[in-house]
Amino acid sequence: MKKTGIFLLNLGTPESYTYNDVRKYLREFLSDYRVINLPWLIRFFLVNFIITPWRAWFSAKLYKSIWTAQGSPLLVNSINLQNKLQSALGENFQVETIMRYGQLNAKNILPKFDNKLNKIIIISMFPQYSSAASGSSLEAALQVISKFNVIPDTQVITKYYDKEFYLDVLAKLIKDRHNPDFYLLFSFHGLPTQQLTKIDTNKVCHKEDCPPITYMNDNCYRAQCFATAKQLAAKLNVQRDFYSVSFQSRLGKIPWIEPYLEPHLDSLYLQGVRKLSIVTPSFSADCLETLEEVAVATKEYWLTKPNTEFNYIECLNDNSAWVQALASKILNL
């Protein structure tokens, strides 16, 4: 009997923290036109001769600092989720982790399922939609599936930043790990502002505090992030003066989505915040951007300020409630 294929879609990770593997990964990642939206020749020169050679040394050290005995945290967390979801769904389903870049990429994994599935459900591991993450990984997976001899019924679960199956589980996780005496900061992955400008035909983006989601800005990544934070705060009963939003992982000198994480931390301190909890809702699994950039580097930055305390709230990872929420969502499609 043919099965339903469940493909958990993420971006990817280097095979190791060595310079060569990290450089190979960065070159593939940064060569994606959805990540660096420049003409091909300019992007090729910039990635291969300017960014990647020096960035790989720096990134390799960071990856080494968070690497586990089992390998990359992103891969370990993803496979753990895959295995638990497989157990929850049973033998009529085939659950697989698919990455946009790296060894588990769509071109390597998906072809073996041609003519072996009666249905495909692709779940993006990015709750908020962005072209650079959700769009790129979905494009890669769907391109491979489009070449199947037999293309089964295919469904995509993406842009679920405001859906209860995601919000309820994340709110419960935050509640369990957040001290109400601490200020709550929602730190989302950043994007160059030009990526928002391309879709901002109604000119509603780049506000100090994004307006509520409507048909005019429902594709705006920044607006989705603010909406996620607002709904989580409501579920946690955290008042507006006790939480805020920032954006991390800025690269280069071009404008990115604001407020930037570190300047925002400085502002919070000047406002009197001393006890800080940070959660990263744009990531479903802990990875370099959460473990090193937030749990380590941001913690160190914050604790250099007098009389401060810091609490990092982990991602959903393979949380049992997250597994059950995904299983329920899948079974009710």
**pLDDT for the residue numbered 103:** 86
In the block, tokens 């983006």 appear at: 205
Domain boundaries, the chain: 3-160+320-331, 164-313
The predicted model scores a pTM of 0.95
For residue 107, give every residue at least 6 positions away whose Cβ sits within 8 Å of its Cβ, in sequence order, or none. Answer: 140, 144
Given 3.40.50.1400, 3.10.350.10, 3.40.50.970, 1.10.10.10, which CATH number is that of 164-313? 3.40.50.1400
The contacts found for 208-217 with CB under 8 angstroms, 24 or more apart, are 213/162
- CATH of segment(s) 3-160+320-331: 3.40.50.1400
pLDDT of residue 1: 78
Domain 3-160+320-331 matches domain 164-313 at the CATH topology level:
yes
CB burial readout 297-311, b (16+ within 10 A) else e: bbbebbeebeebebb
pLDDT on residue 218: 82
pLDDT digits (tens, 9 = 90+) for 214-231: 767 788 899 999 999 999
Q: What is the model's pLDDT at position 208?
A: 58
Q: What is the pLDDT of residue 233?
A: 98
- Residue ranges, the chain, pLDDT below 70: 201-209, 215
